[in-house]
């Protein structure tokens, strides 16, 4: 019997055991429509891996980690992640750690000739359901028309904003201390802003108009309620329950798990949060208190592919579904797709760039547009699944206030500190 040729399934120019990281560079982009940055990791065998630093995160969060990963074997994803994860934190501060982790999955998949989802244990689905961000408007009929247009594009899951920004100009809709309505730096519980019955009635009229246009067959989620306190959230949530929304998202800051538990117990609509939480441990109180029905990690914040898969599994153990927040380029999008494919309780993936056709042109080797009939087909090519970046298109989106196209970063090669967390 002929012995199987194992190397037939491995890139012949790659010896995974001997693979080493030699360089890391970054290209900062804007207009997708958000700001983001693509991270490139080079190796001694010519393999290149791509990751992404999420919208609004500093490239420095990644550059400071360069000296800590040079010389490492990128196939040792968990080992490297454990080495650098202390340099991430909630919200945008995890951008560097997560971007590097994405690139490691891209490299390891290419080294072994398998798609990234296979490194996570295989897939539960061949395509990933998407919903798209839709610009808000105070005109309810126009909002309904915009969402109906999304349905005509093939999207069967919708989301819109329903918050105090829609009723600010209605006399008697809001009660607020001086200047608090303009503030973006005070947490919800401390603003003193309250919705009146008049304000709640206006928001209900808004949602009812939208529902009349899009119907009740398609899930419709709600976000961006404004910096109002828990009691106003409960009153508004109870009033909106009759419209059977898919979820209420980020009504209050995620840190207040006890408040989320009270909110969930007070309304009949699923409660969702999580896009700013770093690591599985950050979800612990929300899950164990059964404070939410849908967790919403952003893979570029939560810790990357493997950590987000762990979050999904942890959520499943507690009877919680996992939707995924995403705002960025196709690089991060595909990292999300592989994670979503490998996570059983996955629900739906966000996208903010549906109205920007050039977004699809940033990569090569996959269907264009990437989203077809409201879904992304899970790539079967190695790593994240695309052939390469489209350099010409990436250059079109380069941020003029930042460095150019993957310029050298030698200044960060010798950055050093004593990082050990124990004596």
d(CA 160, CA 370): 22
Print the SS3 string covering 260-286.
HHHHHHHCCCCEEECCCCCCHHHHHHH
User: How confident is the model at residue 10, as a pLDDT?
Assistant: 55
Do the domain assignments include residue 348? yes
User: How confident is the model at residue 182, as a pLDDT?
Assistant: 83
pLDDT tens for residues 198-230?
999 999 999 999 999 999 999 999 999 999 999
pLDDT tens for residues 347-396?
999 999 999 999 999 999 999 999 999 999 999 999 999 999 999 999 99
Instruction: Please check whether residues 307 and 401 belong to one and the same domain.
Output: no
- CATH number, domain with residue 62: 3.30.390.10
d(CA 371, CA 386): 14
Note down the domain range covering 77: 6-113+390-412
- CATH number, domain with residue 317: 3.20.20.120
Q: What is the pTM of this model?
A: 0.95
Do the domain assignments include residue 239? yes
Instruction: Please check whether residues 144 and 290 belong to one and the same domain.
Output: yes
Domain total for the chain? 2
Q: Are 67 and 416 a contacting pair, CB within 8 Å?
A: yes
pLDDT tens for residues 60-85?
999 999 999 999 999 999 999 999 99
Instruction: Please check whether residues 22 and 95 belong to one and the same domain.
Output: yes
d(CA 137, CA 160): 10
Residues 6+ apart with CB under 8 A from 109: 115, 116, 118, 119, 382, 383, 384
Instruction: Please check whether residues 240 and 328 belong to one and the same domain.
Output: yes
Instruction: Please check whether residues 158 and 229 belong to one and the same domain.
Output: yes
Per-residue CA distances from 329 to 39, 274, 334, 393 (Å)? 11, 20, 9, 12
As a whole number, the mean pLDDT across the chain is: 95
pLDDT tens for residues 276-299?
999 999 999 999 999 999 999 999
């Amino acid at each position: 019997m002929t012995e199987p040729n194992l190397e037939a399934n491995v890139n012949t120019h790659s010896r995974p055991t001997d693979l080493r990281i030699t360089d890391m560079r970054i290209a900062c982009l804007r207009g997708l429509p958000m700001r983001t940055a693509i991270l490139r990791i080079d190796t001694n065998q010519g393999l290149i891996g791509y990751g992404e630093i999420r919208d609004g995160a500093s490239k420095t969060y990644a550059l400071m980690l360069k000296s800590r990963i040079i010389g490492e074997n990128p196939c040792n994803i968990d080992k490297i992640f454990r080495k650098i994860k202390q340099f991430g934190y909630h919200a945008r501060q995890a951008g560097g750690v997560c971007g590097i982790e994405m690139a490691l999955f891209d490299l390891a998949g290419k080294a072994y000739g398998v798609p990234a989802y296979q490194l996570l244990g295989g897939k539960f689905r061949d395509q990933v359901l998407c919903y798209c961000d839709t610009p808000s408007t105070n005109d309810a009929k126009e909002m309904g028309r915009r969402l109906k247009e999304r349905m005509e594009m093939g999207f069967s899951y919708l989301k819109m904003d329903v918050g105090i920004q829609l009723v600010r100009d209605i006399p008697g809709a809001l009660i607020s201390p001086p200047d608090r309505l303009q503030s973006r730096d005070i947490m919800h519980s401390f603003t003193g802003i309250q919705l009146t019955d008049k304000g709640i009635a206006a928001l209900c009229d808004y949602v009812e108009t939208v529902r009349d246009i899009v119907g009740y067959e398609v899930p419709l989620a709600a976000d961006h309620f404004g910096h109002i306190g828990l009691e106003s959230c409960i009153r508004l949530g109870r009033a909106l329950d009759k419209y059977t929304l898919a979820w209420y998202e980020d009504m209050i800051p995620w840190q207040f798990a006890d408040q989320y538990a009270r909110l969930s117990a007070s309304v009949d609509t699923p409660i969702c949060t999580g896009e700013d939480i770093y690591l599985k441990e950050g979800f612990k109180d929300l899950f164990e208190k059964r404070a939410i029905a849908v967790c919403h990690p952003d893979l570029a914040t939560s810790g990357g592919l493997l950590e987000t898969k762990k979050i999904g599994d942890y959520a499943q153990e507690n009877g919680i579904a996992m939707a995924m927040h995403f705002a960025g380029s196709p690089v991060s999008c595909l990292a999300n797709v592989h994670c979503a494919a490998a996570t059983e309780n996955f629900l739906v993936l966000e996208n903010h760039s549906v109205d920007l056709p050039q977004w699809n042109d940033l990569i090569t080797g996959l269907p264009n547009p990437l989203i077809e009939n409201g879904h992304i087909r899970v790539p079967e090519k190695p790593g994240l699944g695309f052939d390469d970046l489209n350099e010409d298109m990436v250059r079109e989106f380069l941020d003029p206030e930042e460095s150019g196209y993957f310029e050298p970063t030698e200044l960060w090669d010798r950055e050093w500190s004593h990082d050990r967390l124990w004596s």
